[in-house]
Amino acid sequence: MKILGYISLRLLSESFEKCSFGKENVLVFMTDCPVIIRLGAKEYNLKSDQLAVFNSVKLVNDFEQEVNLKGILVQTDEPIRCSKIYDKEKNEPLFLAFLERISGMVSTDRFINCLEDLLLQDNVSPSPIKPFQIDTRLIKVNRFIRNNYHQPITLNILAELVETNPVYLCNSYSRVFKIPPMNHLLKLRLEKAKEYLSSSDISVKEISYKIGYVSNSQFSAYFKKMVGVTPIEYRRSLQYMSDDWWQE
Q: Are residues 99 and 191 in the same domain?
A: no
Q: Are residues 115 and 192 in the same domain?
A: no
Q: Are residues 48 and 99 in the same domain?
A: yes
- Distance from C-alpha of 232 to C-alpha of 224, rounded to nearest angstrom: 10
**Model pTM score:** 0.53
Domain final residue, candidates 77, 106, 133: 133
Domain final residue, candidates 133, 151, 178: 133
Residue 32 belongs to domain with CATH number: 2.60.120.280
Is there a contact between 32 and 48 (Cβ–Cβ < 8 Å)?
Answer: yes
Q: What is the pLDDT of residue 132?
A: 45
Q: Are residues 31 and 118 in the same domain?
A: yes
Q: Are residues 25 and 41 in the same domain?
A: yes
Higher pLDDT, 126 or 2: 2
Query: 134 CB contacts (<8 Å, ≥6 apart)?
Result: 120, 121, 123, 176
With a cut of 80, say whether residue 126 has pLDDT above it: no
Is there a contact between 212 and 189 (Cβ–Cβ < 8 Å)?
Answer: yes
Q: What is the pLDDT of residue 121?
A: 64
Q: Are residues 115 and 152 in the same domain?
A: no
- Quote the number of domains for the chain: 2
The alpha carbon torsion through 20, 26, 29, 34 (nearest 10 deg) reads 50
Range of the domain at 181: 136-248
Q: Are residues 125 and 179 in the same domain?
A: no
**Range scoring the smallest mean pLDDT among 39-53, 109-123, 222-236:** 109-123
Residue type, 186: L
Query: Of 219, 221, 224, nearest to 237 (Cα)?
Result: 224
Which of 44-53, 116-125, 176-185: highest mean pLDDT? 176-185
Domain final residue, candidates 110, 133, 156: 133
Angle 18-121-33 (CA atoms, 0-180°, nearest 5)? 35
Q: Please, what's the largest Cα pairwise distance for the chain?
A: 63
Higher pLDDT, 100 or 85: 85
Q: What is the pLDDT of residue 245?
A: 38
In whole numbers, what is the pLDDT of the chain averaged over residues? 79
Q: What is the pLDDT of residue 107?
A: 61
Q: Are residues 20 and 92 in the same domain?
A: yes
Q: Are residues 129 and 7 in the same domain?
A: yes
User: What is the SS3 assignment for 189-226?
Assistant: HHHHHHHHHHHCCCCHHHHHHHCCCCCHHHHHHHHHHH
Q: Are residues 94 and 146 in the same domain?
A: no
What is the mean predicted confidence (pLDDT) over 94-100?
76
Bridge partners (DSSP) listed for residue 176? none
Is there a contact between 68 and 9 (Cβ–Cβ < 8 Å)?
Answer: yes
Residue type, 27: L
What is the mean predicted confidence (pLDDT) over 36-43?
75
Q: Are residues 38 and 142 in the same domain?
A: no
Q: Are residues 47 and 98 in the same domain?
A: yes
Residue 244 belongs to domain with CATH number: 1.10.10.60
- Distance from C-alpha of 246 to C-alpha of 241, rounded to nearest angstrom: 9
